[in-house]
Amino acid sequence: MSASSFFANRTVVIASMHRKEEAIAPLLSAALSVQTLVPEAFNTDAFGTFTREIDRPDDQLATARIKAEAALTLTGETLAVASEGSFGPHPQIPFVACDRELVLLCDRTHQLEIVGESLSTETNYRSQTIHSLEEAFAFAKAAGFPQHGLVVMRTSEPTFKEAPKKAPKEVLAKGITTEADLVAAVKMALAEAESLHIETDMRALYNPMRMKAIAQATQDLIQKINQCCPQCHFPGFTVVQRCPGLPCRCCGAATLLTLSELYACQHCGFQHTQSFPDSLKFADPGQCFYCNP
Ligand SMILES: [Zn+2]
Ligand SMILES: [Zn+2]
């Protein structure tokens, strides 16, 4: 039994209204022999907007789950995919912006949930307070405009690093992809105030870089689906825990590098510990607290 026997010829509902199916559907159809369906009248903005008019109901994973469940309820189908992106400083390199994308598969028939993930530094995610049309053009150029869309807001909107949840909700224009629309929005804002807030539009259909990251997360999802449990053969036999402690090559002390990974099956509960997942038996002394304090 392979993963495709669980999904072949079924319909996957893609819970998106921002054309994410362009990134997700071709990959899933090819890998799992499924049909895809994008529900009409499915308003994902109800589950949070990047421009913060509506807050996300929960964390990234829980929100993806809520969207998938809502799409299943709406369509009466049994298989759905939802994706959720999150932007901010890279966890290891704080001054670099990154895009963490999750693509979640929810299968009601088999009671399965499998999550693909990608972490990409290839993102134009940025925001700025500006005072002139020239500054708007400079921002637009750096953000990959007009292939990537922009959002113009009133100045009372703080930048991303200041608690965005508390931000007032005053979008003047979003999905800006033409110079004429950009000029009009900036002029409108500058007629009201000395400065305005400009940011990248992170919705998938306005952001080809994000679309690429969603495709990468979908590839990761497919890989995880194809990892089947050695005992019951259900798809999605994935890592649930990483244990640090890879010994230093020089002194043998435990380092923070991964020593082993624990795989678990969500269907039968079978577990397997994989030692040395990165094919390394020892850590470089540069990673050791004692050899390189
Ligand atoms: Zn199993
Ligand atoms: Zn050492």
pLDDT tens column, 43-75: 888 888 888 888 888 899 999 999 999 999 999
Asked if 244 and 254 touch (Cβ cutoff 8 Å), the reply is yes
Residue 289 CA: which ligand is closest?
2
Looking at the CA of 271, name the nearest ligand.
Answer: 1
Residue 216's SS3 state is: helix
Angle at 25 between CA 23 and CA 30, to 5 degrees: 115
Cβ neighbours around 104 below 10 Å, total: 25
Q: What is the pLDDT of residue 161?
A: 54
Token reading at 272: 């397997």
Structure tokens at 127: 């925001």
Tell how far the Cα of 34 is from the centroid of ligand 2, in angstroms. 51
Vertex 189: Cα angle to 188 and 193 (nearest 5): 125
Considering every ligand atom, which ligand is closest to the CA of 235? Answer: 1
Tokens coding 55: 């807050």
| pLDDT for res 21 | 94
Residue with tokens 């825990």: 241
- Is residue 142 helix, strand or coil? helix
Cβ 112 vs Cβ 237: under 8 Å: no
Relative to the alpha carbon of 266, which ligand is closest?
A: 1
Distance, in Å, from the CA atom of 73 to the CA atom of 83, rounded to the nearest integer, reads 17
285: tokens are 């002394």
Predicted pLDDT at 40: 87
**Residue ranges of domains in the chain, CATH in brackets:** 4-123+205-226 (3.40.50.10150), 127-201 (3.30.1490), 239-287 (no CATH)
Is the whole-model pTM more than 0.95? no
Of 123, 110, 127, residue with least CA distance to 268: 110
C-alpha to C-alpha distances, 274 to 243, 258, 263, 271, nearest whole angstrom: 10, 10, 8, 10
Q: What is the pLDDT along the chain (293 residues), one digit of tens a residue?
A: 688 889 999 999 999 888 999 999 999 999 999 999 999 888 888 888 888 888 888 899 999 999 999 999 999 999 999 999 999 888 888 889 999 999 999 999 999 999 999 999 999 999 999 999 999 999 999 999 999 999 999 886 455 555 554 555 589 999 999 999 999 999 999 998 999 999 999 999 999 999 999 999 999 999 999 999 999 999 999 999 999 999 999 999 999 999 999 999 999 999 999 999 989 999 999 999 999 87
**Which chain residues have CB less than 5 Å from ligand 2, an ion?**
248, 250-251, 253, 285, 288, 290-291
Structure tokens at 134: 């020239």
Cα–Cα–Cα angle for 62, 42, 4, nearest 5°? Answer: 65
